[in-house]
């Protein structure tokens, strides 16, 4: 495996409105150090993709952003969202996760009806108005480009849907909460190409009103849908720039090697 | 040997083994039912047991068994549920948890006679409960708790972690996620465990001989006040169960028709357990479908 100098970094400044940023985030799993000094700013209403080899820490980093690592790892540093450090112990993590939603690698719909998948969390967060629930059900499914396929089967089990439909249901479930930011951890890696392209279309539509941060293994996917790209290597952020710059003129040798496939 | 041949051989062996299990089960069940069913009739099910003369029934014993089962489940299920949720969802992977798990395993392999004698010393003598349904139910709880806890823990653990993450990522608390998402998904497994435990309780004799006692005093099935002496619901009365009755009839009975009573009682026992199994399974499926909207 080639070795690269982790001090060689290129983090471009973002001159747009920032939705969320991290400041020197460190992650430890027990004694092993998984993320080193991660400092990134994520622009609002843009798609940012996190790329890198397996084990580079991109998923770990993503999970820090809505405190999903709480019980698993030790996360230090600041995560700033609306001028608040959401990595602080005093923060209400449930509230954080309502603002920052997450979609996982494997579709994980609840073993409930399609309708209840969307409405379950809403009801549990105190939304009981029937009109409001109906509105959210419809708009979230429409936004996730699933409405036309399921509108007649809302009471059927979500488990009867195909993998791609389940994943779009999970996206709908997240956006029904009206989050600001949507985190996606390799949302298409378990899906076939047709489902993948549907998910990508969905994300591009959603980026008009949501800030999207997506971890992906698929570099074509990153270059197709994202506006910004961060390249992770062995727990370090090596390069962060507009996607077109990363894929056409990377600043750092490690990025160039990774993108051209001449890596490791 | 080539792959095809060895595969055929392995398949053959597996079919053979399963055949052995099925044969044993069917012949045992068949034997009990064949011997017992012809002697089961309405009179047998609805009359009192006789000590000396022929023609006694098992009305009280059958009721006692059911009542004891229900009481034991009422006591043990909530405890096992709590412990199971703790072990599956909250327990950290450390030596304390290891000790808890080991204790549960040891407890589950305790012979039921030991549980019965322990119950006799603690409940009947020390706590002064006397030979009573309550003492029996508590002893059965000791007997039942380890298996039920393990079963609930395993059912909960078998729900994929992705479901927990889904709940958490939507801003639900851990408790909500467990009770509203994980528990419903684990329900069929928990129910199966509950049925198995019920069968074990229903057929248990050794743990009850010294706790619930071996006599079935006449009770008044019209008296619904559990705090009166003669009520059939009175938990403080001694209560011989069906399984204990079978044991007793076979060991020390002087009735001329002891053999008939024994085989008929055994058949009744098996049939009730069978009804229990099928009923609970049907109910569980229905419940699961309702909760998950699966068609």
- Average pLDDT of every residue of chain A: 89
Phi-psi region of B75 (alpha: psi -120 to 50; beta: other; left: phi over 0): alpha
The two three-digit tokens of residue A163, written as one number: 């993998």
What is the average per-residue pLDDT within B137-160? 92
Tell me, yes or no, if A201 comes closer than 8 A to chain B by beta carbon: no
Number of domains in chain A: 1
Tell me, yes or no, if A113 comes closer than 8 A to chain B by beta carbon: yes
Q: What's the domain range around A102?
A: 10-110+181-259
- Average pLDDT of every residue of chain B: 86
Domain membership flag for residue A91:
yes
Binary contact (A174, B160; C-beta < 8 A) = no
Binary contact (A104, B166; C-beta < 8 A) = yes
Domain membership flag for residue A148:
no
Gap from A22 CA to chain B (nearest CA, Å)? 19
Nearest to B292 among A95, A108, A157 (CB): A157
Give all strands (DSSP E) within chain B, no chain letters. Answer: none
**What 3 state SS string does A123-168 have?**
HHCCCCCHHHHHHHHHHHHHHCCCHHHHCCCCCCEHHHCCHHHHHH
Nearest to B292 among A98, A112, A174 (CB): A112
Rounded Cα distance between B288 and A36, Å, is: 46
Report the length, in residues, of chain B.
295
Given a cut of 80, whether residue B32 has pLDDT beyond it is yes
Tell me, yes or no, if A137 comes closer than 8 A to chain B by beta carbon: no
b vs e for B58-97, b when ≥16 Cβ sit within 10 Å of the residue's Cβ?
bbbbbbbbebbbebbbebbbeebbebbbebbbebeeeeee
Residue A44 — pLDDT band, cuts 50, 70, 90?
very high
Nearest to B294 among A68, A157, A173 (CB): A157
Gap from B149 CA to chain A (nearest CA, Å)? 24
What is the average per-residue pLDDT within A68-79? 88
Gap from A178 CA to chain B (nearest CA, Å)? 11
Give percent of chain B above pLDDT 70: 98
Q: Which of B286, B121, B133, B106 is nearest to B201 (CA)?
A: B133
Domain membership flag for residue A166:
no
Rounded Cα distance between A239 and B53, Å, is: 95
Binary contact (A157, B171; C-beta < 8 A) = no
Residue B224 — pLDDT band, cuts 50, 70, 90?
confident
Burial of B46 (0-12, 13-18, 19+ CB in 10 A): exposed
pLDDT at A103: 93
For residue A84, how far is the Cα from the chain centroid? 20
Gap from A102 CA to chain B (nearest CA, Å)? 6
Given a cut of 90, whether residue B171 has pLDDT beyond it is no
Binary contact (B162, A106; C-beta < 8 A) = yes
Sequence-distant (≥ 6) Cβ neighbours of residue A199 within 8 angstroms: A164, A167, A168, A171, A187, A188, A191
List chain B residues with CB under 8 Å of A121: 167, 170-172
Rounded Cα distance between A107 and A209, Å, is: 23
Q: Which of A60, A79, A75 is nearest to A19 (CA)?
A: A79
Given a cut of 60, whether residue B295 has pLDDT beyond it is no
Domain membership flag for residue B60:
yes
pLDDT at B294: 56
List chain A residues with CB under 8 Å of B168: 68, 97
pLDDT at B250: 84
Domain membership flag for residue B23:
no
Given a cut of 80, whether residue B30 has pLDDT beyond it is yes
- Among the ranges given (A46-50, B109-113, B160-164, B210-214), the one the predictor scored with the smallest mean pLDDT: B210-214
Gap from A124 CA to chain B (nearest CA, Å)? 7
Given a cut of 90, whether residue B82 has pLDDT beyond it is yes
pLDDT at B292: 67
The CATH number of residue A222's host domain is 3.40.50.300
- Among the ranges given (A73-82, B147-156, B187-196), the one the predictor scored with the smallest mean pLDDT: B187-196
Number of domains in chain B: 1
* Distance (Å) of CA B83 to CA A34, A50, B27, B147, B150: 34, 41, 38, 11, 9
Domain membership flag for residue B213:
yes
Rounded Cα distance between A51 and A243, Å, is: 11
Starting at the earlier edge strand, list the strands of the sheet with A10-11. Answer: A10-11, A236-242, A228-233, A47-52, A211-215, A181-185, A100-103
Domain membership flag for residue B30:
no
Q: What is the pLDDT of residues B33-79, one digit of tens each?
A: 998 888 888 888 877 777 777 777 788 888 889 899 999 999 999 99
Nearest to A102 among B169, B293, B294 (CB): B169
List chain B residues with CB under 8 Å of A97: 168-171
Closest residue, chain B, to A177 (C-alpha):
B170
Q: What is the pLDDT of residues A110-162, one digit of tens each?
A: 988 899 999 998 998 888 889 999 999 999 998 888 898 998 989 888 888 98
Domain membership flag for residue A1:
no
Given a cut of 80, whether residue A214 has pLDDT beyond it is yes
The CATH number of residue B115's host domain is 1.10.3720.10
What is the average per-residue pLDDT within B191-218? 84
pLDDT at B21: 96
pLDDT at B83: 93
Gap from A62 CA to chain B (nearest CA, Å)? 12
Q: What is the pLDDT of residues B262-279, one digit of tens each?
A: 888 899 999 988 888 888
Domain membership flag for residue A5:
no
CB pairs under 8 A between A and B: 75
Binary contact (A159, B169; C-beta < 8 A) = no
Binary contact (A94, B171; C-beta < 8 A) = yes
Domain membership flag for residue B131:
yes
Q: What is the pLDDT of residues A19-29, one digit of tens each?
A: 999 999 999 99
Residue A240 — pLDDT band, cuts 50, 70, 90?
very high
Domain membership flag for residue B195:
yes
Look at residue B220 and give its three-state secondary structure: strand
Q: What's the domain range around B167?
A: 40-292
Gap from A197 CA to chain B (nearest CA, Å)? 23
Binary contact (B168, A106; C-beta < 8 A) = no
The two three-digit tokens of residue A222, written as one number: 């990153």
Burial of B14 (0-12, 13-18, 19+ CB in 10 A): exposed
pLDDT at B278: 86
Domain membership flag for residue B21:
no
Tell me, yes or no, if A91 comes closer than 8 A to chain B by beta carbon: no
Domain membership flag for residue B244:
yes
- Among the ranges given (A28-32, A240-244, B49-53, B194-198), the one the predictor scored with the smallest mean pLDDT: B49-53
Rounded Cα distance between B28 and B43, Å, is: 26
Domain membership flag for residue A128:
no
pLDDT at A185: 92
What is the average per-residue pLDDT within A51-80? 89
Tell me, yes or no, if A163 comes closer than 8 A to chain B by beta carbon: no
Query: Which residue of B90, B160, B171, B294 to mutate against A (max A Cβ within 10 Å)?
Result: B171
Given a cut of 70, whether residue B11 has pLDDT beyond it is yes
């Amino acid at each position: 495996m080639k070795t690269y100098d982790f001090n060689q970094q290129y983090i471009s400044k973002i001159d747009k409105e920032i939705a969320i940023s991290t400041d020197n985030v460190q992650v430890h799993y027990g004694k092993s150090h998984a993320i080193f000094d991660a400092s990134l700013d994520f622009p609002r209403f843009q798609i940012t993709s996190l790329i890198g080899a397996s084990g580079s820490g991109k998923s770990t980093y993503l999970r820090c952003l809505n405190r999903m690592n709480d019980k698993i790892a030790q996360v230090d540093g600041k995560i700033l969202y609306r001028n608040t450090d959401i990595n602080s112990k005093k923060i209400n993590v449930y509230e954080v996760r309502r603002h920052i939603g997450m979609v996982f690698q494997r579709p994980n719909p609840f073993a409930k009806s399609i309708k209840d998948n969307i409405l379950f969390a809403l009801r549990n967060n105190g939304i009981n108005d029937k009109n409001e629930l109906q509105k959210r059900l419809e708009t979230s499914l429409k936004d996730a480009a699933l409405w036309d396929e399921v509108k007649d089967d809302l009471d059927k089990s979500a488990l009867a849907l195909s993998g791609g439909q389940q994943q779009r249901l999970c996206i709908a479930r997240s956006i029904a909460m009206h989050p600001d930011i949507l985190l996606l951890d390799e949302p298409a890696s378990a899906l076939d190409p047709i489902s993948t392209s549907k998910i990508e279309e969905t994300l591009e539509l959603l980026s008009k009103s949501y800030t999207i941060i997506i971890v992906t293994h698929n570099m074509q996917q990153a270059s197709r849908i994202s506006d910004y790209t961060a390249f992770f290597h062995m727990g370090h952020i090596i390069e962060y720039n507009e996607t077109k710059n990363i894929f056409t003129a990377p600043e750092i040798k490690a990025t160039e090697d990774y993108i051209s496939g001449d890596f490791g | 040997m080539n792959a095809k041949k060895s595969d055929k051989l392995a398949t053959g062996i597996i079919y053979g083994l399963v055949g052995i299990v099925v044969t044993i089960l069917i012949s045992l069940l068949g034997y009990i039912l064949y011997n017992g069913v012809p002697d089961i009739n309405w009179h047998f099910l609805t009359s009192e047991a006789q000590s000396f003369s022929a023609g006694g029934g098992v009305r009280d014993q059958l009721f006692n068994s059911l009542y004891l089962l229900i009481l034991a489940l009422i006591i043990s299920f909530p405890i096992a549920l709590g412990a199971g949720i703790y072990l599956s969802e909250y327990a950290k992977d450390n030596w304390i948890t290891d000790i808890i798990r080991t204790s549960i395993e040891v407890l589950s392999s305790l012979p039921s006679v030991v549980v019965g004698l322990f119950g006799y010393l603690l409940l009947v003598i020390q706590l002064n409960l006397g030979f009573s349904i309550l003492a029996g139910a508590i002893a059965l709880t000791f007997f039942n708790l380890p298996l039920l806890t393990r079963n609930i823990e395993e059912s909960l653990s078998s729900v994929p972690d992705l479901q927990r993450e889904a709940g958490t990522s939507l801003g639900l608390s851990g408790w909500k996620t467990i009770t509203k998402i994980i528990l419903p998904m684990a329900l069929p497994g928990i129910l199966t465990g509950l049925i198995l435990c019920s069968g074990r309780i229903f057929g248990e004799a050794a743990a009850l001989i010294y706790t619930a006692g071996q006599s079935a005093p006449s009770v008044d099935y019209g008296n619904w006040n559990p705090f009166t002496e003669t009520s059939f619901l009175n938990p403080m009365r001694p209560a011989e169960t069906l399984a204990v009755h079978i044991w007793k009839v076979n060991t020390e009975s002087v009735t001329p028709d002891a053999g008939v009573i024994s085989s008929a009682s055994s058949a009744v026992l098996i049939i009730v357990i069978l009804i229990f199994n099928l009923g609970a399974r049907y109910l569980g499926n229905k419940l699961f479908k309702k909760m998950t909207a699966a068609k």
